[in-house]
Structure 1
Amino acid sequence: MKEQESTVAAKRRAQMVEETRAKLIKAARRAFARQGYSAASMDDLTAAAGLTRGALYHNFGDKKGLLQAVVDQIDGEMLERMRIAQEHAANQWQGLLLESVAYIEMALEPEIQRIMLLDGPAVLGDPSQWPNQTACLRRTESILRGLIDDGTLKPVDAEAAARLLNGAALNAALWIAAADDPQAVLKKAVAAFLELATGLRR
């Protein structure tokens, strides 16, 4: 009986930890999007979540750790949107282009601009080195390798092509996020990206 009670208590504690983390991430996401990372007050943020600074430090270490958690959450949502975009493609090559363009287009969204493309790189470092970008690179490389093997693409080095394609999409998004006229830059960036990518076709 004691063992069963202990298991129930442990599950309840884990649930409470997850609820606390979710509240903090939600409050931080709102604050970082509206005010920016630097201007967001940890006291205001934790108060908005109905929690203390101690809860923030216990769960995330510091403000930077909280930003990392917010970035991870948004990144997961972006990846899902990219996956949905490529599902409508007639083939893998078109799918790769559609998901790349979807990623570039997301740079127009204020939350993604501020958190993922402006504050994230400034605080967490080069986004091309983030774990999610590394996983994305490996996936792109795998798709390109298959397209090279089946004759869709020219016989180029798959890793090199993946790094250049992913780098072009990332830099297009960073350019859009920092632009005075993001819509105008989006059109130019997408057109140039597609021309560059099409150069890989056999």
Structure 2
Amino acid sequence: MVVVARRRAQMMEETRAKLIRAARKAFAAKGYAGASMDDLTAEAGLTRGALYHNFGDKKGLLQAVIDQIDAEMLARMRTAQERAGTAWLGFLAESIAYIEMALEPEIQRIMLLDGPAVLGDPSQWPNQNACLRTTTQTIQTLIDEGTVRPVDAEAAARLLNGAALNASLWIAAAGNPHTVFTKAVEAFQYLAAGLLQKEG
């Protein structure tokens, strides 16, 4: 009985993975609106019933794709942060890595253009709340060690996270994303530097 249940769970996981993979490819290539449910399920070798059973609807499938991309983005941001020499430089590197990912066509289209249009304000997505908690903890640590001025850590985190998110949305919608990226990163660094304790 346990073996049957385990096999069923494994098959469900494989079905979900196939649908997410097909949806990610379709959403990146054609956009959410242009991706047909029939083409998507055919690409995965599954039925529309499998899609409804696993994700409820197309919107639920988009959420699953966004969750997967978001987890990959977080891992990349963590890597950028770990390579930096200090906690402050790590914080900046992580933020800039996030903004830079807005240059990638898949992230632009799925996370920054279609995601907000279909799922609403990205600052209200569950993953943003987790990101906000992490940023608040990082800023509190930087305050405690004397690197950052004694401001309210949550307020600073909300403002900086908002600046990074808006920079990414601006880049994704821009006619010349690379030019906007350069401007956005320079301004973000100046904004963030305002939190630093002054020497002497």
Alpha-carbon distance in structure 2 between the residues aligned to 1:167 and 1:48: 37
Shift, 1:155, TM fit: 1.1
Shift, 1:150, TM fit: 1.6
Is structure 2 residue 177 aligned with structure 1 residue 165?
no
- Tell me the residue number matched to 1:57: 52
2:142 aligned to which of 142, 147, 151: 147
Instruction: Please give the per-residue CA displacement for 1:52-92, whole angstroms capped at 9, x wherever unaligned.
Output: 00000000000000000000000000000000001111111
2:195 aligned to which of 186, 192, 200: 200
- Tell me the residue number matched to 1:3: none
- Tell me the residue number matched to 2:186: 191
Instruction: Please give the per-residue CA displacement for 1:146-168, whole angstroms capped at 9, x wherever unaligned.
Output: 11122111111111000000000
Instruction: Please give the per-residue CA displacement for 1:29-50, whole angstroms capped at 9, x wherever unaligned.
Output: 0000000001100000000000
Equivalent residues, number = 197
- Tell me the residue number matched to 2:27: 32
Alpha-carbon distance in structure 2 between the residues aligned to 1:109 and 1:100: 16
**1:194 maps to amino acid:** Q
Is structure 2 residue 130 aligned with structure 1 residue 135?
yes
2:11 aligned to which of 13, 16, 22: 16
- What's the TM-score once normalised by structure 1's chain length? 0.97
For structure 2, list consecutive stretches of 5 or more residues without a partner in the other structure.
none
Q: Secondary structure at the match of 2:147?
A: coil
Alpha-carbon distance in structure 2 between the residues aligned to 1:150 and 1:187: 30
Is structure 2 residue 114 aligned with structure 1 residue 111?
no
Alpha-carbon distance in structure 2 between the residues aligned to 1:195 and 1:132: 26
Give structure 1 regions of 4+ aligned residues with deviation exceeding 2 angstroms: none
Alpha-carbon distance in structure 2 between the residues aligned to 1:94 and 1:47: 47
- What's the TM-score once normalised by structure 2's chain length? 0.98
- Tell me the residue number matched to 2:171: 176
Alpha-carbon distance in structure 1 between the residues aligned to 2:128 and 2:26: 25
Alpha-carbon distance in structure 2 between the residues aligned to 1:147 and 1:86: 14
Decide which moves more: 164-173 or 148-157: 148-157
Shift, 1:185, TM fit: 0.2
1:99 aligned to which of 83, 94, 98: 94
| C-alpha RMSD of matched pairs (Å) | 0.5
- Tell me the residue number matched to 2:75: 80
Alpha-carbon distance in structure 2 between the residues aligned to 1:146 and 1:40: 44
Q: Secondary structure at the match of 1:170?
A: helix
Alpha-carbon distance in structure 1 between the residues aligned to 2:178 and 2:144: 37
